[in-house]
Amino acid sequence: TIAAAGNGDGWYELHTAYNSTAYLTAAAGWIEAASPPRTYQADTCNTLSVTSSGTTGHDIINVLHGLSYARIQGNYHNRPAEFVCGATAGRTLAHDPGSIARAHKGLVGVTALTLTSTQISNLIGTAAAPGKCGNGYFYVGGVGNFAPGRMASGEWWDVIRNDDSVNSDIEADLFDMVRQNQIVPYSDEGVALAEGVLRSRLKQAKAAGIYQEPIRVTAIKAANVSTNDRQRRKYTGLSWSAVRVG
């Protein structure tokens, strides 16, 4: 099953081959609920992706969009053996978070499609109205162009990946802080340690081009934490917010 194959850490993005609508739907549902967070490039060769503006349940890209899936990137290509998902991943995942988006990339080993303006609009929508938020690799100005790099929900792929990267790094940094200290006191001094780790990671995320000011960190004083959390040595008073660069 998809769940059995997907167990374990060490991977982030799922690709599947020669997909049926049922298989894509099942894999997408699993990814949306997966922990730790992951993403899925769902390739389809269903021509409804480009011939329909998004009014039929047989159009899998429209189905994924209707479910508002934030971790699924639906791609259309008429040659499934060319694996547009793999080519897109190879072009982008080797770059650090904050340094790349998936829009307007040339792909190796994938034939660019010749689509009409209506077909492009059916697949990816327009800048003002992204429609069903599909993606494709097609000619623009005589060159192959992958666009637009959106997830089924309409969010940009790089935004999802950037946030996942920062959240994963924060979790790892806080774990390292606990391991590297004999004890982290449940006091304002201990809170300051955790706050310092968080601020350091957010500073790095800013330098990487992921976030911009205002970046805010809130750390509740140890005395203001609930008795129940204190007894469990659980601190939930650390929170943050930031403005995404893009």
Residue 96: band (very low, low, confident or very high) from pLDDT cuts 50, 70, 90: very high
Task: Please give the C-alpha separations between residue 189 and each of 26, 168, 192, 218, 232, in angstroms, as whole numbers.
Answer: 47, 24, 5, 15, 18
- Return d(Cα 98, Cα 79) in angstroms, integer: 31
- Return d(Cα 133, Cα 156) in angstroms, integer: 10
How far from the centroid of its chain's Cα atoms is residue 66's Cα?
18
How far from the centroid of its chain's Cα atoms is residue 117's Cα?
28
Mean pLDDT of 147-156: 96
Q: 74 near 44, Cβ under 8 Å?
A: yes
pLDDT tens column, 4-58 = 555 667 899 999 998 998 999 999 999 999 999 999 999 999 999 999 886 666 8
- Return d(Cα 117, Cα 100) in angstroms, integer: 26
Instruction: Return the axis-axis angle of helices 188-207 and 157-180, rounded to nearest 10°.
Output: 140
- Structure token digits, residue 111: 């034939």
* Of 245, 197, 190, the residue nearest 217 (C-alpha): 197
In the prediction, which pLDDT does 4 show?
Answer: 56
Name residue, tokens 């650090």. Answer: 96
Residue 102: band (very low, low, confident or very high) from pLDDT cuts 50, 70, 90: very high
Half-sphere exposure of 30 (CA within 13 A, CB side): 20
Three-class DSSP category at 23: helix
Examine the pLDDT at 104 and tell me if it is beyond 70: yes
Mean pLDDT of 155-184: 97
Burial environment of residue 241 by CB neighbours within 10 A (0 to 12, 13 to 18, 19 or more): exposed
- Return d(Cα 81, Cα 86) in angstroms, integer: 11
pLDDT tens column, 44-81 = 999 999 998 866 668 999 999 999 999 999 999 999 99
* Of 74, 70, 61, 32, the residue nearest 153 (C-alpha): 70
In the prediction, which pLDDT does 57 show?
Answer: 63
pLDDT tens column, 204-215 = 999 999 999 999
Taken in order 52, 56, 57, 58, the sign of the CA dihedral is negative
